[in-house]
């Protein structure tokens, strides 16, 4: 029969990996550097224009000043304390909202009955802007942790809900036919077909939820608090300490990116079977 | 040889724009155990619909289909189905695709999966994902997946239609090997006359609108067959002339409108 089977998978893979390895050695560093070119140019121009006193230091402090402030804040221990509080809020709110979003998304995806009763209401709630409910949350729960965590949870809920629902409903019906022919039990249908097929969407929802949780955190902390990175920013603004405002912003940016990258690594591991356009 | 599959007075129609369209009309067909039946017809003649009805995926018809003495009421492992596309689960490796809902931890199943991987010549690819396979290899995985369930009958719906000529003839040989080894009855739908003659014990020629069985031709040639023998060519002429009759009928039909 076929001659093509003489070539085993190992050979195909080994030739693939040798090419990939060669590319990787020169390519990986190259790739990372490529992402740094633009920020580096901006930082250099920024620093120079500050040093030449083209921009007022209260409006836009130089990167070197921001960096020294950053180091100073770490040394006094202030920053780490604020950061910890913010992180706990973000994780708490994300876990609460994300879990609920995932579970409800699964329920609505699996049962048309539940979809018809629950989904219209959720879609209505989804359109309410987070900022609009802040006053209500303050009235109900005060300025404490409860209102902050609930606000973050509200933000994190919807992306996971919508994408989980979408993922389940976009499972290929042709594969359902296969499952019927092979006599899958309901349980196997869920674990072998529906969940793996909707995993790409669920992971996308996870990433979006994390991003929204981070945004909601800032909104929650700006609405009034005595701790956290958001508080650090509002407090610094009142005293026109622009450098501290920048430190806060950069922390949000860096940790937003780190959490996103973590999910992406996870994604690459779980979705290695995907065969998509790589760009 | 006893009768494995029996189709009695199968009719299927649907209403489209207030007009009743007959997809299948008065289909009677018997398949004996171990037979290799090929079904051939122009596109739209209802041959895939017929296969879907036998598989149980489509139960919206009148008439009766009996498999192994029992009425077919829905899909199941008794009727193995090979679709036009391999329809593998992209997130499972080759061996896990074949096992699918069965556990590879069971020694018996693991052994059978290994045997089948050997039978469909995919040794070395057990841990590969579907995206790493060629079209022919993927289709062989789906054949192995069906065979693992020891089906009474294997239903194939233009399974090699998307493959190039070389791979296709390889696959035909592979299927005949499997047929000889496993003695599974086959119903093979195709639109390729040569394929139908080369593979089948019997060719069911269908005509369209409404889909009916025009003629059943027995191919009394021993296996293994040679593609170039004169007798195969004679059968080719026979089948082709049947098609010409169909076309003439259809021309007359459309002239009447």
Residue A89 and residue A134 in one domain:
yes
Nearest to B89 among A192, A272, A274 (CB): A192
Q: What is the CATH number of the domain that holds A137?
A: 1.10.3720.10
Residue A77 and residue A213 in one domain:
yes
pLDDT at A256: 87
* CA distance linking residue B70 with residue B59, whole number of Å: 15
Residue B165 pLDDT level (bands cut at 50, 70, 90): confident
Residue A98 and residue A224 in one domain:
yes
pLDDT surpasses 90 at B47: no
Nearest to A273 among B121, B124, B129 (CB): B129
Residue A72 and residue A201 in one domain:
yes
pLDDT at A58: 82
Cα-based distances in Å from B41 to A90, B137, B146, B246: 64, 27, 25, 10
* Domains and their CATH numbers in chain B: 3-78+151-256 (3.40.50.300)
Q: In the block, which residue shows the tokens 């130089």?
A: A62
A178 contacts in chain B (CB < 8 Å): 81, 83, 87, 89
Residue B256 pLDDT level (bands cut at 50, 70, 90): very low
Query: Are A185 and B101 inside 8 Å of each other by CB?
Result: yes
Nearest to B124 among A10, A179, A273 (CB): A10
Residue A95 and residue A22 in one domain:
no
Domain count, chain A: 2
Yes or no: say if A208 and A34 are a contact pair by the CB < 8 Å rule.
no
Q: Which of A6-10, A40-44, B122-126 has the lowest mean pLDDT?
A: A6-10
In a domain, A233, yes or no: yes
Query: Are B124 and A272 inside 8 Å of each other by CB?
Result: no
Own/partner long-range contacts of A260-267 (Cβ < 8 Å, ≥24 apart): A260/A207, A260/A210, A260/A211, A263/A203, A263/A206, A263/A207, A263/A210, A264/A207, A266/A203, A267/A200, A267/A203, A267/A207
pLDDT surpasses 90 at B2: no
B19 or A148, which is more confident? A148
Instruction: Give the range of the structural domain holding residue A179, as residue numbers without chain letter.
Output: 63-270
* CA distance linking residue A147 with residue A144, whole number of Å: 6
pLDDT at B244: 80
Q: How far is B80 from chain A (nearest CA, A)?
A: 7
Residue A178 and residue A260 in one domain:
yes
pLDDT at A8: 55
A183 contacts in chain B (CB < 8 Å): 75-77, 101, 149
A28 or A16, which is more confident? A28
pLDDT surpasses 60 at A10: no
Element (H, E) at B79: strand B79-82
Query: Are A175 and B136 inside 8 Å of each other by CB?
Result: no
Nearest to B57 among A2, A177, A184 (CB): A177
In a domain, A56, yes or no: no
Nearest to A9 among B90, B128, B170 (CB): B128
pLDDT at A59: 84
Residue A4 pLDDT level (bands cut at 50, 70, 90): very low
B150 contacts in chain A (CB < 8 Å): none
Query: Are A275 and B131 inside 8 Å of each other by CB?
Result: yes
In a domain, A276, yes or no: no
Interface mutation vs chain B, best among A182, A202, A275, most B CBs within 10 Å: A182
Residue A92 and residue A43 in one domain:
no
Residue A15 pLDDT level (bands cut at 50, 70, 90): low
Find the residue in A nearest to B142 (Cα).
Answer: A178
Query: Are B91 and A199 inside 8 Å of each other by CB?
Result: yes
Nearest to B77 among A9, A183, A274 (CB): A183
pLDDT at A226: 83
pLDDT tens-digit series, residues B113-163: 998 998 888 999 999 999 999 988 999 999 999 999 989 999 999 999 888
pLDDT at A5: 46
Residue A21 and residue A69 in one domain:
no
Residue A2 pLDDT level (bands cut at 50, 70, 90): very low
In a domain, A179, yes or no: yes
Range with the largest mean pLDDT of A192-196, B23-27, B206-210: A192-196
pLDDT at A3: 46
Residue A175 pLDDT level (bands cut at 50, 70, 90): very high
Residues of A at the B interface, defined by Cβ within 8 angstroms: 1-2, 4-5, 8-10, 12, 174-175, 177-185, 188, 192-193, 196-197, 199, 272-275
User: Is the previous residue joined to A256 through a cis bond, with omega within 30 degrees of 0?
Assistant: no
Nearest to B121 among A2, A273, A275 (CB): A2
Buried b (16+ CB within 10 A) or exposed e, A158-169: bbbbbbbbbbbe
Residue A206 and residue A236 in one domain:
yes
pLDDT surpasses 80 at A24: no
Q: In the block, which residue shows the tokens 């998307």?
A: B162
Residue A98 and residue A167 in one domain:
yes
In a domain, A256, yes or no: yes
Residue A35 and residue A67 in one domain:
no
| Sheet arrangement for strand B70-71 | B19-32, B3-16, B62-67, B70-71
B77 contacts in chain A (CB < 8 Å): 181-183
In a domain, A139, yes or no: yes
The DSSP symbol for A193 reads: I
Yes or no: say if B188 and B36 are a contact pair by the CB < 8 Å rule.
yes
Find the residue in B nearest to A187 (Cα).
Answer: B101
pLDDT surpasses 60 at B80: yes
- The residues that bridge with B215 in the sheet, in sequence order, are B205
pLDDT tens-digit series, residues A224-235: 778 888 888 888
Residues of B at the A interface, defined by Cβ within 8 angstroms: 55, 57, 74-77, 79-81, 83, 85, 87, 89-92, 100-101, 121-125, 127-132, 134, 136-137, 145-146, 149, 167, 170, 173-174, 177
The pTM (predicted TM-score) of the whole model is 0.79
Yes or no: say if B67 and A150 are a contact pair by the CB < 8 Å rule.
no
In a domain, A93, yes or no: yes
In a domain, A30, yes or no: yes
* CA distance linking residue B184 with residue A154, whole number of Å: 58
Residue A246 and residue A124 in one domain:
yes
Yes or no: say if B119 and B181 are a contact pair by the CB < 8 Å rule.
yes
Q: How far is B129 from chain A (nearest CA, A)?
A: 6
């Amino acid at each position: 029969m076929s001659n093509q089977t003489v070539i085993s998978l190992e050979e195909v893979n080994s030739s693939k990996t040798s090419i990939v390895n060669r590319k990787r050695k020169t390519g990986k560093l190259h790739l990372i550097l490529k992402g740094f070119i633009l920020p580096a140019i901006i930082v250099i121009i920024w620093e120079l224009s500050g040093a030449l006193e083209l921009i007022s230091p209260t409006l836009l402090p130089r990167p070197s000043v921001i960096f020294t402030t950053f180091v100073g804040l770490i040394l006094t221990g202030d920053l780490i304390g604020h950061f910890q509080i913010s992180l706990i809020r973000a994780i708490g709110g994300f876990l609460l909202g994300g879990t609920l979003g995932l579970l409800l998304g699964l329920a609505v995806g699996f049962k048309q009955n539940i979809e018809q009763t629950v989904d219209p209401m959720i879609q209505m709630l989804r359109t309410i802007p987070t900022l609009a409910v802040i006053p209500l949350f303050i009235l109900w729960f005060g300025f404490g942790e409860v209102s902050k965590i609930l606000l973050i949870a509200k933000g994190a809920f919807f992306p996971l809900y919508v994408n989980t629902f979408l993922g389940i409903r976009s499972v290929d019906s042709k594969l359902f036919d296969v499952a019927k022919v092979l006599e899958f039990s309901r349980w196997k249908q869920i674990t072998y077909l529906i969940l793996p097929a909707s995993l790409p969407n669920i992971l996308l929802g996870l990433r979006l939820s994390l991003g929204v949780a981070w945004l909601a955190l800032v909104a929650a902390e700006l609405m009034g608090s005595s701790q956290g990175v958001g508080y650090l920013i509002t407090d610094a603004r009142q005293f026109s300490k622009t450098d501290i405002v920048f430190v806060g912003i950069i922390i949000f940016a860096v940790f937003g990116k780190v959490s996103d990258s973590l999910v992406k690594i996870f994604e690459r591991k779980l979705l290695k079977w995907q065969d998509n356009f790589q760009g | 040889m006893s009768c494995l599959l029996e189709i009695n007075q199968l009719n299927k129609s649907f209403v489209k724009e207030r007009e009743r369209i007959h997809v299948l009309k008065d289909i009677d067909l018997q398949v004996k155990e171990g037979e290799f039946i090929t079904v051939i017809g122009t596109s739209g003649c209802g041959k895939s619909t017929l296969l879907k009805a036998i598989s149980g995926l489509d139960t919206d018809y009148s008439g009766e289909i009996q498999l192994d003495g029992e009425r077919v009421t829905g899909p199941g492992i008794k009727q193995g189905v090979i679709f036009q596309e391999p329809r593998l689960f992209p997130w499972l490796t080759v061996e896990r695709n074949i096992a699918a809902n069965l556990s590879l931890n069971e020694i018996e199943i693991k052994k059978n999966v290994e045997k089948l991987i050997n039978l469909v010549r995919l040794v070395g690819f057990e841990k590969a994902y579907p995206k790493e396979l060629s079209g022919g290899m993927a289709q062989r995985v789906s054949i192995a997946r069906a065979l693992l369930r020891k089906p009474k009958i294997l239903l194939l719906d233009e399974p090699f239609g998307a493959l190039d000529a070389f791979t296709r003839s390889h696959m035909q040989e592979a299927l005949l090997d499997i047929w000889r080894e496993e003695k599974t009855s086959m119903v093979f739908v195709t639109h390729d006359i040569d394929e139908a003659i080369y593979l089948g014990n019997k060719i069911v020629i269908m005509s369209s609108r409404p889909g009916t069985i025009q003629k059943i031709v027995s191919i009394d040639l021993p296996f293994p067959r040679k593609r170039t023998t004169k007798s195969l060519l004679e059968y080719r002429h026979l089948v082709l002339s049947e098609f010409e009759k169909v076309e003439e009928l259809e021309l007359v039909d459309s002239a009447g409108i």
